[in-house]
Structure 1
Amino acid sequence: MKYILVSGGVISGIGKGIFASSLGVLLKTIGLKVTAIKIDPYMNIDAGTMSPIEHGEVFVLNDGGEVDLDLGNYERFLDVTLTRDNNITTGKIYQQVIQKERKGEYLGKTVQVVPHITDAIQEWIERVAMVSVDHSGEKPDVCIIELGGTVGDIESAPFVEAMRQFQFRVGHANFALAHVSLVPVIGPVGEQKTKPTQTTIRELRALGLSPDLIACRCYKALEPEVRAKISMFCHVGKEQVISVRDVLSTYHVPLLLKEQGVLSFFQKRLGLDTIHISADQLIKSESILKKWTKLTEDHDRLKKSVTIVLVGKYTNLQDSYLSVIKALEHSGLKCERKLTLMWVEASELEHEFEKVNPDKYREAWNVLSSANGILVPGGFGNRGTEGKVAAAKWAREKKVPYLGICLGLQVAVIEFARNVCGLSDANSEEFEPHSKHKIVINMPEVSLTHLGGTMRLGMRSTIFKDDTEKWSITRKLYEVTGFMAVGKQSIEERHRHRYEVNPTYISKLEEKGMHFVGRDEKGERMEIMELKDHPFFVGTQYHPEYLSRPLNPSPPFLGFVMASAGLSLDTIFHE
Structure 2
Amino acid sequence: MTKYVVVSGGVISGIGKGIIASSAGLLLETLGLTVTAIKIDPYLNIDAGTLSPLDHGEVYLLDDGGEVDLDLGNYERYLGLTLTRDNNITTGKIYKAVIDRERRGDYLGKTVQVVPHITNEIQDWIERVSKIPNPKTNLPSDVCMIELGGTVGDIESAPFIEAMRQFQFKVGQDNFCLIHVSLVPVVGAVGEQKTKPTQASVRDLRGLGLSPDIIACRSTLPFESGIREKLSMFCQVPESNIFSVHDCQSLYHVPIVLESQGFLEILASRLKIDIPSIPKPLSSDGQELWNKWTDFAKAKELNSPVVKIAVVGKYTHLQDSYISLVKALEHASLTIKRHVDILWVEASDLEPLVQSSNPMKYYDAWKSVCSADGVLVPGGFGARGFEGKVLAVKWARENKKPFLGICLGLQAAVIEFARNVCGVTEAQSAEFVPETSDPFVIHMPEIDSKNLGGTMRLGSRPSKFNDELKSNSVMYKLYGSNDTIHERHRHRYEVNPEIVPQLESNGLKFVAKDADTGNRMEIIELEGHPYFVASQFHPECISRPLKPSPPFIGLLLAASGLLESHLENL
TM-score by length of 1: 0.97
Report deviation, 1:136: 3.8
Q: Is the 8 A contact 1:468 1:475 kept in 2?
A: no
What is the alpha-carbon distance in structure 2 between the residues aligned to residue 281 and residue 470 of structure 1? 41
Q: Which amino acid aligns with 1:191?
A: E
What is the alpha-carbon distance in structure 1 between the residues aligned to residue 296 and residue 365 of structure 2? 34
Answering whether residue 187 of structure 2 is matched by residue 189 of structure 1, we say no
**Alignment of structure 1 residues 157-306 onto 2, 5 Å:** 157-273=158-274, 277-306=278-307
Q: Is the 8 A contact 2:477 2:567 kept in 1?
A: no
State the partner residue of 2:394. 393
CA shift in 2, pair 1:457/1:276, >3 Å? farther
Answering whether residue 497 of structure 2 is matched by residue 503 of structure 1, we say yes
Q: Is the 8 A contact 1:331 1:554 kept in 2?
A: yes
- Structure 1 consecutive aligned stretches of length 4 or more whose deviation exceeds 2 Å: 132-138, 274-280, 568-575
Q: Structure 1 stretch 132-141 or stretch 561-570: which is displaced more?
A: 132-141
Answering whether residue 320 of structure 2 is matched by residue 319 of structure 1, we say yes
**Alignment of structure 1 residues 418-433 onto 2, 5 Å:** 418-433=419-434
Report the secondary structure of 2:472's partner residue: coil
Report deviation, 1:277: 3.5
State the partner residue of 1:563. 558
Q: Which amino acid aligns with 1:545?
A: E
**Alignment of structure 1 residues 449-460 onto 2, 5 Å:** 449-460=450-461
Q: Is the 8 A contact 1:406 1:542 kept in 2?
A: yes
Report deviation, 1:568: 2.4
Report deviation, 1:467: 1.3
What is the alpha-carbon distance in structure 2 between the residues aligned to residue 330 and residue 274 of structure 1? 31
**Alignment of structure 1 residues 539-550 onto 2, 5 Å:** 539-550=534-545
What is the alpha-carbon distance in structure 2 between the residues aligned to residue 423 and residue 445 of structure 1? 27
Q: Which amino acid aligns with 1:106?
A: Y
CA shift in 2, pair 1:223/1:573, >3 Å? farther
Deviations 1:345-386, CA, capped at 9 Å, x for gaps: 000000111111011111111111001000000000000000
Q: Is the 8 A contact 1:81 1:133 kept in 2?
A: no
Answering whether residue 568 of structure 2 is matched by residue 535 of structure 1, we say no
What is the alpha-carbon distance in structure 1 between the residues aligned to residue 237 and residue 567 of structure 2? 49
Report deviation, 1:570: 3.9
CA shift in 2, pair 1:198/1:477, >3 Å? same
State the partner residue of 1:7. 8
Report deviation, 1:572: 8.2
For structure 1, the residue ranges without an aligned partner over 5 or more in a row are: none
Report the secondary structure of 1:467's partner residue: coil
Q: Structure 1 stretch 156-165 or stretch 284-293: which is displaced more?
A: 284-293
State the partner residue of 2:138. 137
Report deviation, 1:280: 3.0
Deviations 1:187-226, CA, capped at 9 Å, x for gaps: 1100001110000000000000000011000001011311
Deviations 1:447-496, CA, capped at 9 Å, x for gaps: 1111000000001000000012321000000016xxx4xxxx10000000
What is the alpha-carbon distance in structure 2 between the residues aligned to residue 93 and residue 509 of structure 1? 48
Q: Is the 8 A contact 2:443 2:492 kept in 1?
A: yes
What is the alpha-carbon distance in structure 2 between the residues aligned to residue 569 and residue 123 of structure 1? 54
Q: Is the 8 A contact 1:493 1:547 kept in 2?
A: yes
Deviations 1:17-70, CA, capped at 9 Å, x for gaps: 000000011000000000000000000000000000000000010100000000
* Count of residues in Structure 1 that have an aligned counterpart in Structure 2: 568
Q: Which amino acid aligns with 1:300?
A: E
Q: Is the 8 A contact 1:407 1:541 kept in 2?
A: yes
Report deviation, 1:130: 1.2
Q: 1:512 aligns with which of 497, 506, 511?
A: 506
What is the alpha-carbon distance in structure 2 between the residues aligned to residue 235 and residue 145 of structure 1? 23
Q: Structure 1 stretch 33-42 or stretch 353-362: which is displaced more?
A: 353-362
For structure 2, the residue ranges without an aligned partner over 5 or more in a row are: none
Q: Structure 1 stretch 299-308 or stretch 447-456: which is displaced more?
A: 299-308
**Alignment of structure 1 residues 289-438 onto 2, 5 Å:** 289-438=290-439
What is the alpha-carbon distance in structure 1 between the residues aligned to residue 264 and residue 466 of structure 2? 49
Q: CA RMSD in A?
A: 1.2
What is the alpha-carbon distance in structure 1 between the residues aligned to residue 135 and residue 363 of structure 2? 49
Q: Is the 8 A contact 1:516 1:530 kept in 2?
A: yes
Q: Which amino acid aligns with 2:415?
A: I
Q: Is the 8 A contact 1:514 1:531 kept in 2?
A: yes
What is the alpha-carbon distance in structure 1 between the residues aligned to residue 149 and residue 355 of structure 2? 42
Q: Which amino acid aligns with 1:114?
A: V
Q: Is the 8 A contact 1:81 1:134 kept in 2?
A: no
Report deviation, 1:240: 1.2
